[in-house]
A and B are shown apart, each in its own frame.
Chain A
């Protein structure tokens, strides 16, 4: 229990007549986390027909490539154009090329779906890329598997985008047969549209 910055030992109590045990004062070693304020999130508030929707895939995750491709197909069926980009690097020239790709995507799409968060650093970069799109005022959904949801929310919060829309898929996706992945793609497609703010 902490009162006005003073640590009160939680497991001890002292009679009024007892003298206080010897104490020392130390400095707290922790920092407040970043992300006090949240940038706005955006919604489409219209049908996807006639719009251009970006899909960011990750070459590390075959399961997400399949789901992303299925969603692209459904978006085109619903009248949208789609642009798929594939990322897979975090640093060096490949990383710079990937981030440039995301910036270019943000310039030409009306909204985007960004995945996949299904490991620690890939969740971090899924959220970072989604934030890059949201900073260009694009409606965006970050796609994260259940095991990495809290981590994804933490990253979004600490990047100042607490309200970023995150779609949660089951975990793990890897090692599932294609028919199961297709079923997951079908089941979660409406929720993805809902998070983008698609109006029928």
Chain B
């Protein structure tokens, strides 16, 4: 295998390597593994594409993401070769125009790609989907795949805080965010199946999420009451869809397995649950001060009952199941709005 990217001599000492990576601006602030030829070649050996294949162009600086460059960043993040296909599929998903990578990598918003994985590869690769799956579980797959995607945006796309990306606050997910669905505990078809894939396929879904928005309750056991409160919580008055177009974007609503079981009994068909969420994810126009209310009215957002819905369609509410068994929490991944979730099958070398 012949690698064509630039070779760079660095100190063998890991602390000096860390300093050099910081000086070169390759790092996200955390130490990286050295992308030696051996490490990069091992990853490329597992790639479904040749090293010189240009997978996509990554904004904001429109760098060409060859498979070799992606492999270098994956090696630095510690991605094991078997997991490289997830990184590639995620980047392919992000390069779909409707994901709006140019907008998302440059916005003042905190939004960042959030990766949801379905399929058997979750266990094979250490992708967290049980307790603390969105941070803290420390699965190698979750941590390294998410970080590799973030490093590709940084090093190939040229994303730099305050320069090419204008994100006011950023968010912890900008270090990398990847978790799985606990599909075996879901009362509904897996997210990937609902998005048109076979149940036996490994699939990554990329969501432009603004952050993690925690929800909790211990006072009401009725699933409809609880979902009603979740819907109301999703429709918080400063949510992005109230700024822009209600036709665009999705919110992921992740239920713990215990709540999912409860909701599954009340709504065996997930589309009924989505319709219920859509119906109740609204607020009375009187909630907003005059200036906001006037803008919402001017844009035709107020329905005949004087309510303003968060989204236009039920399918923009994306329920899924993951997390530990603590039966009092859900978590939402709110939408940036101007981004449509994308899914890709994870390919491996045939």
A residues at B contact (CB < 8 Å): 2, 5-7, 9-11, 21-35, 59-60, 88-95, 119-121, 123-125, 128, 148, 150-151, 154-155, 158-159
Contacts and interface: CB of A to CB of B under 8 A. Distances in A.
Identify which of A26, A35, A95 gathers the most chain B CB atoms within 10 Å of its CB.
A26
B10 A7 contact: yes
Interface string B148-161: 00010001111000
Given A7-B24, A148-B166, A33 B247 contact: no
14 contacts: A5-B8, A21-B12, A22-B13, A25-B8, A28-B6, A30-B63, A30-B158, A33-B61, A33-B62, A60-B243, A94-B247, A124-B103, A154-B61, A158-B62
B248 interface: yes
Nearest to B58: A31
Nearest to B111: A121
Given A92-B98, A124-B102, A148-B166, A25 B9 contact: yes
Nearest to A93: B247
A124 B62 contact: no
Given A91-B339, A92-B248, A158-B60, A26 B106 contact: no
Contact of A5 (B6, B13, B23): B6
A40 to B, nearest CB: 19
A122 to B, nearest CB: 8
A25 B106 contact: no
A29 B72 contact: yes
Identify which of A5, A23, A24, A59 gathers the most chain B CB atoms within 10 Å of its CB.
A24
A25 B248 contact: no
A150 B162 CA distance: 10
B4 to A, nearest CB: 9
Nearest to A148: B166
Contacts of A30: 26, 63, 69, 155-156, 158
Contacts of B163: 150-151, 154
B7 A5 contact: yes
Given A92-B247, A95-B338, A27 B20 contact: no
A148 B107 CA distance: 11
B297 interface: no
Given A26-B8, A89-B244, A92-B98, A158 B61 contact: yes
Contacts of A89: 244-245, 248, 338
B106 A151 contact: yes
Interface of B: 3, 5-13, 16, 19-20, 23-24, 26, 34-37, 40, 57-66, 68-69, 72-73, 75-76, 97-100, 102-104, 106-109, 151, 155-158, 163-167, 243-245, 247-248, 299, 338-340
Contact of A159 (B35, B62, B157): B62
Given A27-B40, A31-B58, A31-B64, 5 more contacts: A25-B37, A26-B8, A90-B100, A120-B109, A121-B104
A34 B109 CA distance: 24
A28 B157 CA distance: 14
Given A25-B36, A151-B166, A120 B156 contact: no
Identify which of A23, A26, A29, A124 gathers the most chain B CB atoms within 10 Å of its CB.
A29
B155 A29 contact: yes
B232 to A, nearest CB: 25
B249 to A, nearest CB: 8
A93 B5 CA distance: 40
Contact of A92 (B34, B151, B245): B245
B26 A24 contact: no
Given A88-B244, A95-B338, A27 B7 contact: yes
Given A95-B248, A121-B338, A21 B11 contact: yes
Given A33-B63, A34-B61, A150-B163, A27 B23 contact: no
A22 to B, nearest CB: 4
A24 B157 CA distance: 26
Contacts of B5: 27-28
A129 to B, nearest CB: 12
A90 B20 CA distance: 38
Nearest to B104: A121
A143 to B, nearest CB: 17
A181 B142 CA distance: 49
Contact of A119 (B37, B75, B76, B107): B107
Given A9-B11, A92-B248, A27 B6 contact: yes
B155 A92 contact: no
Contacts of B64: 31-32, 34
B7 A25 contact: yes
Contact of A29 (B3, B26, B164): B26
